[in-house]
Amino acid sequence: MIWVRKNFCTKNKDSTGNTINTGVMIIYQHETQLQTFLNLLSSVTTRKKVFDVALVATLKDNNIKGIYTVNVADFKEFEFLEIRNPLNI
């Protein structure tokens, strides 16, 4: 299964400013972050998930469809995400 978009940037800068090929995509918040966050927040059953909702809003805005986490239960409410526990693979 591939969860990342094709042609994403994997070249990032280290602490000295040198470009390194990490193979890791860095995602950022979009202008739609607040609206996506509020829409998702209204869909969860507990307000204790504010930080999870912020993370999921960033994933959704970046068209990321899956997440690896040991806290599978915390993300079950977000039906568009495929959640995998890396300890059970």
Q: Cite the beta strand spans of 1-89 per DSSP E.
A: 11-13, 19-21, 66-68, 82-84
The total of structural domains in the chain comes to 1
State the residue range of the domain holding 61: 30-88
Q: Would you say the pTM of this structure is higher than 0.85? A: no
- How would you classify the pairing of strands 11-13 and 19-21? antiparallel
Residue 72 resides in a domain: yes
Residue 48 resides in a domain: yes
pLDDT in 10s for each residue of the chain, 89 residues: 344 444 455 566 667 777 777 677 778 899 999 999 999 998 888 777 899 999 999 999 999 999 999 999 999 999 999 999 999 98
- The pLDDT of residue 80: 93
**How many C-alpha atoms does 85 have within 13 Å on its Cβ side?**
8
